[in-house]
Structure 1
Amino acid sequence: MPSPQPAVPALSPLPLMHLATGFWAFKALASANELGLFGLLDRMGGATVEECAEELEVSARPAGMLLTACTALGLLQRRPDRRFVNSALADAYLVPGRPYHFGGWVRMLDQRLYPGWGKLTEAVRNNRPTTWDPETQPHLFNTEDPDLLSVFWEAMHAVSSWTAQRLGSVVDLASRSRLLDVGGGSGAYAIELCRRHPDLRATVYDLPGVCPAAARNAEAAGLADRIATFPGDFLAEPALPGGHDVIVLSMILHDWDEETNRTLLGKCYAALPPGGELVISELMVDDDLTGPATAALMSLNMLVETEGGRNYTAAQYADWLTDAGFTHTRKVPMEAPGANAALVAVR
């Protein structure tokens, strides 16, 4: 007798197909970004497949396929005259020179994180990063590759600028006068928050090799007189710079293990005056550890990128803050590339 046909599952496999091919969409974006497609279309005011092929110095076949893919992904639009133009999204974030250019983030994901994520199983098995070697580097941010470091900070500036805008809209700092951005990197948070609050002054505290970029960005933003830099290592130094009534930790705590974070929160408490505030801005995992996907996947990214980091829950942060001496901790939801919530606590 013929064997019975297996029952067809009631569920569609399409969700798995979307998950399994997710990297196709990313690589289409990354390739278009690397080739300079979005800048080209901006300069030309739109172009046909043939014009794009000529300008990009590629054959018409792959040019047309890439243009179609980017159009399907909402990055381009095709006009009745057969010319492709940037969509509103691409025009705002993917054209070089735009104030919130996102291309550096795409480039960093493609050049650094994409290869590292290709070794995710290795990271899970060995509990160690795959984008750098802890045996030859003291930590993630110590590298002799200036090009890679430049890509990293350009990427972080793009993500942080937009996230800082959202943070400023949900956390009121109008009563604060001096802000310390610990691990402030390119100065994105200091710049955006000082723009929002004309009386606010800020200090970007980061490694000596990072501070010059923050100073340049502050000057370019016309805020050099209100944003200072303070070179140092918040892990190695016994204390943080004083004289500030609010401290921001943005996408910092997810880089480190619990012990390191508790130590840093203790330094924040000691550096603030009574009544001062600490603001933690992060992609936070739900307290029941079921999501959201953005925070859960960023947490896996910390497995690929760090020795002990992960994305934590708001409840974990709240416990650490209480143990450090902070009070009146509150969670403020937000929606941004680099954070889904802020925790605000009082010294």
Structure 2
Amino acid sequence: MPTRVWDYLPEYEKERADILDAVETVMESGQLILGKSVRGFEEEFAAYHGLPHCTGVDNGTNAVKLALQALGVGPGDEVITVSNTAAPTVLAIDGCGATPVFVDVREEDFLMDTGQVAAAITGRTKAIVPVHLFGQCVDMAPIKRLAAEHGLVVMEDCAQAHGARHHGELAGTMADAGAFSFYPTKVLGAYGDAGAVITRDETTQENLQRLHYYGMEKVYYVVRTPGHNARLDELHAEILRRKLGRLDEYIAGRRAVAEHYVDGLGDLAGSHGLLLPRTAPGNEHVYYIYVVRHPQRDAILERLKDFDIHLNISYPWPVHTMTGFQHLGLGKGTLPVTERLADEIFSLPMYPSLPRELQDHVISSVRKVVTSL
């Protein structure tokens, strides 16, 4: 069987009885939309983060979009974020009618270069969206300081950082709101699309509750303000409730895989140029994906196919270079670090149920390829 960066089948085999029981629980409940499972997951996910509010939504893109709209972001506003992210982060900003404004990322950890944010603020800036990338958090202190000075809102994109901590604080709890994706590959993943927004602010929560339910408030068919059909369904909610109780176990499993990669590949950095992930100061990494770097990335990926190892790149095309964002007037050379990374980074297999024999196969194969370059 080919070795890929992610596979849900080993996890499903281990958890099959509980997952199928979750499905039975919902099917026998008599309510498939906005029932006990959604309410239960929202309460439990909020409690995990020590916050009072959570709104489940249908996917991570809408989690970002609705969170921004709930915080007052709209047409004419500018939102500062990064181009080294999955396109949905930026699509959600665009979906609010706002304009994304990009700052570069840091060479050492690929996270937002917070030293560039101040210069990006204009009279139209409404929000900052730090992306907690690949499993660890952006340094939030300078962002929060700038937001306070300029009257901006901050929304954390936590799609890749479930359970990650920054100086002891969980991702999603350090700003006005935190948006999560539960796409199947995530640290906490559903078996389809799902998402959520957490907040401590009552007004933001009230806005979210309207926005994700057509703009209605309690009474069906009565639209208070235009909204969306962006509800989390009962089946995914119940599965996520079960898996939430195992989130810390999943994180421990990912960290164990990461440690094994360090043991097997760590010596290749100096003499052979393979750079492994670096954890930023104050962070507790959860390794959503295990992103490494090498100047001969494309040659490595091609030769690993000879060992039946097929890997991904996150991300080969910076958002600001995509044709869909040509209207921003940005091109090659605008964000040099982001563009350089796009040519050199790739992901090794990473999921908590990754069998040790496959980890060893990846390590031995990467060693053979890298040392032969």
Whose helix fraction is larger, Structure 1's or Structure 2's?
1
The structure, 1 or 2, with the larger RCO (C-alpha pairs under 8 Å, 6+ apart) is 2
TM-score normalised per structure 2: 0.28
- Computing the radius of gyration from Cα coordinates, the structure with the larger value is 1
